[in-house]
Copies of this chain bind each other. A is one copy, B any other.
Amino acid sequence: MSKKQIRIGMIGYKFMGKAHSHAYRDVPFFFDCDGVPVMQAICGRDEEGVKAAAQKLGWASYETDWRKLIERDDIDLIDIGAPNNAHAEIAIAAAKAGKHILCEKPLAMSVEEAKEMLEAVNKAGVIHMICHNYRFVPAIQYAKKLIDEGKLGSIYHIRANYLQDWIIDPNFPLVWRLKKEVCGSGALGDLAAHSLDLARFLVGEFKEVNGMMETFIKERPIGEMSGGLSASVKGGELGKVDVDDASIFMARFENGAVGVFEATRFAGGNRNGNRFEINGTKGSIRWDMEQMNTLEYYSAEDEIGSQGFRSINCQEDIHPYAGAYWPPAHIIGYEHTFINLFAELMNGIASGTNPTPNFEDGHNNQMVLEAVEKSARTGRWVSISELRG
């Protein structure tokens, strides 16, 4: 049977550009999808940089203006890895041009923007996804399965934190990820966005939140990202940090569960500590991205005396996506979360059915993010419904 060629135009060529490019390369190797990605064009403002990236990352051509990319007839899917403040404009234009869209998270700078983006893709009838890759860890998908099967019963608690330390040095430069006009927020939109998306995926919809945001280092030397999470100072001038170094919030969910969330870039020794624990009437689960293949699972239905958290290595054929890779416990890593997500995207475009998480999730996540910001400003609980407008 013939497969559908899906021609990609990708915007952004640094950390996320590399992760996405790799996933496009690898998805047909591991998965037998109905859609096959064709790495048509990569786009970035700096011609020298994007040209080199095209060659290094395996793209057939490049563009320096995203508008041109969208105009091209030979592109089916626009993959938006540009900074957060560019998401809305690009996505709306791409939708109008009838392109399918994959957008990095957080979806937008505001609920209002997110709503416009959602309306645009809905109106255009294109396939859309938001790149919440951590949903696609086999251990997370298996956790979802356990919860859906009732193995945890009704949920009482989620406690999630996402701890990093890459800017703990006060001399780490002021890069785009620390500028409000580019990012919207700091640890909140970058890290807590992942945690709350997992919470929505595994626990349910948020009802209300109450949070705080903190900027420990108010000024930093101006500089720029140099790849991954590294950066370099450019000149000695100081600039004001106007995003949060750390954000904490409490939550109530529609189903009665309560939650507590923390995201920070100031937790020394935690390089990528994306972790949570969920407790229900019948069982509990724990997960840590740094050991992402392992799901810890406690069942209150195990025999008395033999109860305890089991350490499950979710690289077995029965675990979602795991069978595509290697034998049991021959572990996979960070990049595979993208490959799995992209497999869903390829199948979704080929079949015309929209996968999750998509712009609706992005919009709903944005409401939670904005509610946290509002509660941090006002010092009180904010209902998600207040944000729905």
Contacts and interface: CB of A to CB of B under 8 A. Distances in A.
A229 B328 contact: yes
Shortest 3 CB-CB contacts between residues of A and residues of B: A269-B298, A271-B329, A272-B329
Contact of A310 (B22, B308, B329): B308
Contact of A381 (B305, B319, B379): B379
B336 A246 contact: no
A268 B155 CA distance: 11
Interface stretch (A70-78, A106-114, A196-204, A258-266): A258-266
Nearest to A258: B214
Contact of A316 (B248, B290, B305): B305
A333 B291 CA distance: 11
B15 A327 contact: yes
A267 B279 contact: yes
A229 B279 CA distance: 20
Interface string A68-105: 00000000000000000000000000000000000000
B309 A156 contact: no
A219 B97 CA distance: 58
A380 interface: yes
Nearest to A268: B284
A217 to B, nearest CB: 10
Contact of A326 (B19, B163, B290): B19
Tell me the interface secondary structure of chain A in the complex: mixed
Contacts of A271: 313, 315-316, 327-329
16 contacts: A25-B26, A29-B56, A156-B267, A166-B327, A250-B250, A269-B283, A272-B328, A290-B331, A293-B333, A299-B306, A304-B318, A306-B312, A308-B310, A310-B310, A332-B335, A380-B380
A23 to B, nearest CB: 11
Interface in A5-57: 15, 19, 21-22, 25-26, 29, 56-57
A248 B246 contact: no
Given A258-B248, A304-B318, A334 B332 contact: yes
A14 to B, nearest CB: 11
Interface residues of A, number: 94
A67 interface: no
Listed residue (A19, A229, A315, A329) with the most chain B CB atoms within 10 angstroms of its CB: A329
Contacts of A214: 258
Contacts of A279: 163, 165, 264, 266-270
A289 B144 CA distance: 26
A124 interface: no
A242 to B, nearest CB: 18
A212 B228 CA distance: 38
A279 B273 CA distance: 13
A116 interface: no
B269 A156 contact: no
Interface string A293-323: 1100111101011111111110111110000
A272 B328 CA distance: 7
B290 A297 contact: no
